[in-house]
């Protein structure tokens, strides 16, 4: 019988040499005339160990990492196919503390299955959710999602079941399901990992959504910077059609759902749902006025569900295990689990799926292991480029939508970017304002003009040019942007800018000689 060796084909692992490792394993296998089956998987999301390769044993999968092609002959010499001892041996994959201490409800198959194998997906619990949903009344599916407490994982935190009910109740013969796979937030990659590692889960979640609201067509709007996700999703959609999991007769039920994938050109604003719909319809990505809500008048003017990748991917397990099972995880009004992404200057960057309630400190130190540079953590930014910069004093905040809002931040898509004590927070504030100026869609004045004026004010502030006046002006401008912007890009840019000013004010008043040296 062949020994099974698992090697990731996910973008992070590839960038670190996974293809070369796979080639080296193939060569070594043929040189030694061993009987080996290589399975290419997604990533489990333990990035500092990538390429992380695994060998099937009777006790489970033995993990080795990070492996380079040059390590492969030594691994074979050490009896790697029989889980032999080697300096890169990490123990059973499931026992690595980073992974063992997670609650993987949505991301449980990442790095485990062959993402392109429908058989593997089904063997690991796939399509049980759809099978449960098919005989249900649409309203009962909507109720299950509502009862689970699932809230949108893309950033706006809106209850998914309520959105689905609005579309379900809306009149109209044509309705749409749109998946937001634009994943523009800094430090985020859970959508990509899911699409590269478990594409059928997203397809299943969107299909269930279609059944729930009466939509027979869906679109995935994917950012063009994700070529591997594009490739994997494209192949998975074709397989699902070929095997009756998409099309006009879902599993012989007579129900229909079809899916297409569209590429966005890479503008941050196209992640906002109304811009996304503009772009999907073939126009420049620009914000639409709300109301009407996309749920009532969305794609091509029809009632449309727009949800994030992780929101859809969380649905199959809710239908499979029941709303209460999912709801039992979490705290307060934040139910279930959140795939959190640790990025920036962090020793153990990657994906941590935990129930809401885990603190930032646990994530940064117990999972993340502090900074990669070994220096103290000075600041973190949670929730993408519009999230606040937080100092150490906020690290005991539990991951909970309400707790974060109360503390002046937001959880957003669950991305955490870490900075050590060499960070210049005035430069970060300037960067946040400049980001807004560059990415502004231009539809409203507070954002289009305000962000450019904001960069100029921060420049004068950093230069020490009438600092008190510039500070007052900056706060006034941020107030206008917060209250007067049409969407959250202009509306939330004050969060990173003012949090940097409030918590790290010393960085805005460096002596001129030091500033010159830093430039």
Is 270 a binding residue for ligand SF4 by CB under 6 A? The answer is no
Is 79 a binding residue for ligand SF4 by CB under 6 A? The answer is no
Q: Residues 319, 489, 497, 500: which binds ligand FMN (CB under 6 A)?
A: 489
DSSP string, 155-223: TT--BHHHHHHHHHHS--S--EEEEEE---STT--HHHHHHHH-HHHHHHHHHHHHHHHT--EEEEEEE
Is 490 a binding residue for ligand SF4 by CB under 6 A? The answer is yes
> Which stretch of DSSP H or E encloses residue 450?
helix 450-462
170-to-18, 144, 165, 208, 212 alpha-carbon distances in Å:
48, 19, 8, 18, 12
Q: How far is the CB of 263 from ligand SF4 (least distance, A)?
A: 21
Q: How far is the CB of 66 from ligand FMN (least distance, A)?
A: 29
> Which stretch of DSSP H or E encloses residue 77?
helix 72-77
Interface map 291-320 toward ligand FMN (x if CB under 6 A): ---------------xxx--x---------
Q: How far is the CB of 237 from ligand FMN (least distance, A)?
A: 19
Q: How far is the CB of 30 from ligand SF4 (least distance, A)?
A: 55
Q: Residues 102, 239, 371, 440: which binds ligand SF4 (CB under 6 A)?
A: 440
Name 145's Cβ contacts closer than 8 Å, sequence gap at least 6: 160, 161, 164, 212, 315, 318, 323
Interface map 177-206 toward ligand FMN (x if CB under 6 A): ---x-xxx----------------------
Q: How far is the CB of 311 from ligand FMN (least distance, A)?
A: 3
End-to-end CA distance of the chain: 63
Is 477 a binding residue for ligand SF4 by CB under 6 A? The answer is no
Q: How far is the CB of 437 from ligand SF4 (least distance, A)?
A: 10
Of 143 and 255, nearer to ligand FMN (C-beta) is 143
Q: Are 461 and 416 in contact (CB under 8 A)?
A: no
CA-nearest of 295, 288, 341, 319 to 47 is 341
Residue 377 three-state SS:
strand
Return the one option of ligand SF4, ligand FMN, none that residue 442 interacts with (CB less than 5 to 8 A, by type): ligand SF4
313-to-150, 356, 504 alpha-carbon distances in Å:
11, 17, 38
- CA of residue 81 relative to chain centroid, distance: 34
Is 325 a binding residue for ligand FMN by CB under 6 A? The answer is no
Distance CA 323, CA 391 (A): 36
From the list 51-59, 234-242, 485-493, 506-514, the region that binds ligand SF4 by CB under 6 A is 485-493
Distance CA 104, CA 125 (A): 13
Q: How far is the CB of 440 from ligand SF4 (least distance, A)?
A: 4
Q: Residues 14, 99, 417, 447: which binds ligand SF4 (CB under 6 A)?
A: 447
Distance CA 340, CA 496 (A): 20
Is 255 a binding residue for ligand SF4 by CB under 6 A? The answer is no
Of 198 and 272, nearer to ligand FMN (C-beta) is 272
CA atoms within 13 A on the CB side of 449: 6
Give the total of residues touching ligand SF4 (CB under 6 A).
14
From the list 46-54, 266-274, 296-304, 318-326, the region that binds ligand FMN by CB under 6 A is 266-274
Distance CA 302, CA 171 (A): 9
Distance CA 188, CA 246 (A): 29
Return the one option of ligand SF4, ligand FMN, none that residue 196 interacts with (CB less than 5 to 8 A, by type): none
Is 489 a binding residue for ligand SF4 by CB under 6 A? The answer is yes
From the list 14-22, 237-245, 306-314, 436-444, the region that binds ligand SF4 by CB under 6 A is 436-444
464-to-423, 453, 458, 515 alpha-carbon distances in Å:
19, 17, 10, 10
Is 274 a binding residue for ligand SF4 by CB under 6 A? The answer is no
Q: How far is the CB of 485 from ligand FMN (least distance, A)?
A: 10
134-to-130, 168, 246, 253 alpha-carbon distances in Å:
6, 16, 13, 7
* Structure tokens that stand for 279 in this block: 């772009």
Return the one option of ligand SF4, ligand FMN, none that residue 183 interacts with (CB less than 5 to 8 A, by type): ligand FMN
Residues forming contacts to ligand SF4 in the complex (CB under 6 A) are 269, 287, 440-444, 447-448, 485-487, 489-490
Residues forming contacts to ligand FMN in the complex (CB under 6 A) are 152-156, 158, 180, 182-184, 268-269, 271-273, 306-308, 311, 487-489
């Amino acid at each position: 019988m062949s020994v099974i060796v698992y090697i990731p084909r996910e973008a992070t692992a590839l960038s670190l040499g996974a293809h070369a490792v796979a080639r080296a394993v193939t060569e070594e296998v043929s040189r030694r005339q061993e009987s080996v089956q290589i399975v290419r998987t997604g990533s489990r999301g333990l990035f500092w160990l990538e390429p992380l390769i695994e060998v099937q044993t009777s006790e489970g999968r033995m993990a080795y990492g990070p492996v380079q092609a040059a390590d492969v002959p030594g691994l074979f010499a050490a009896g790697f196919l029989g889980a032999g001892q080697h300096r890169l041996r990490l123990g059973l994959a499931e026992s690595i503390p980073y992974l063992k201490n997670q609650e993987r409800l949505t991301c449980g198959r990442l790095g485990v299955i062959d993402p392109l194998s429908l058989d593997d997906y089904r063997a690991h619990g796939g399509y049980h959710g759809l099978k449960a949903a098919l005989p249900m009344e649409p309203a009962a599916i909507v109720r299950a999602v509502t009862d689970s407490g699932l809230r949108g994982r893309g950033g706006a935190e809106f209850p998914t079941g309520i959105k689905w009910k609005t579309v379900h109740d809306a009149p109209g013969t044509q309705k749409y399901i749109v998946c937001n796979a634009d994943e523009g937030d800094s430090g985020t990659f859970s959508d990509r990992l899911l699409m590269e590692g478990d594409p059928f889960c997203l397809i299943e979640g969107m299909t269930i959504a279609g059944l729930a609201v009466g939509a027979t067509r869906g679109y995935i709007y994917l950012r063009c910077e994700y070529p591997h996700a594009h490739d994997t999703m494209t192949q998975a959609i074709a397989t699902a059609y070929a095997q009756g999991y998409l099309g006009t007769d879902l599993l012989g039920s007579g129900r229909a759902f079809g899916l297409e994938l569209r590429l966005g050109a890479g503008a941050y604003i196209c992640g906002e749902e109304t811009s996304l719909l503009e772009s999907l319809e073939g126009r420049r990505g620009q914000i639409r006025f709300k109301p009407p809500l996309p749920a009532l008048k969305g794609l091509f003017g029809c009632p449309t569900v727009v949800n994030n990748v992780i929101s859809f991917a969380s649905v199959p397990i809710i239908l499979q295990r029941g709303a209460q099972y999912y709801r039992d995880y979490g705290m307060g009004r934040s139910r279930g689990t959140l795939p959190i992404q640790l990025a920036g200057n962090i020793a153990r960057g990657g994906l941590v799926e935990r129930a809401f309630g885990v603190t930032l400190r646990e994530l940064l130190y117990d999972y993340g292991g502090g900074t990669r540079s070994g220096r103290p953590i000075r600041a973190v930014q949670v929730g993408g480029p519009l999230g606040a910069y937080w100092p150490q004093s906020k690290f005991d905040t539990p991951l909970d939508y309400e707790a974060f809002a109360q503390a002046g931040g937001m959880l957003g898509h669950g991305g955490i970017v870490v900075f050590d004590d060499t960070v210049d927070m005035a430069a970060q504030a300037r960067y946040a304002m400049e980001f807004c100026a560059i990415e502004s869609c231009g539809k409203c004045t507070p954002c289009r003009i305000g962000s450019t004026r904001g960069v100029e004010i921060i420049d004068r502030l950093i230069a020490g040019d009438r600092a008190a006046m510039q500070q007052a002006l900056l706060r006034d401008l941020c107030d206008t942007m917060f209250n007067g912007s049409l969407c959250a890009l202009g509306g939330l840019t004050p969060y990173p800018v003012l949090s940097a000013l409030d918590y790290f004010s010393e960085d805005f008043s460096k002596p001129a000689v030091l500033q010159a040296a830093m430039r």
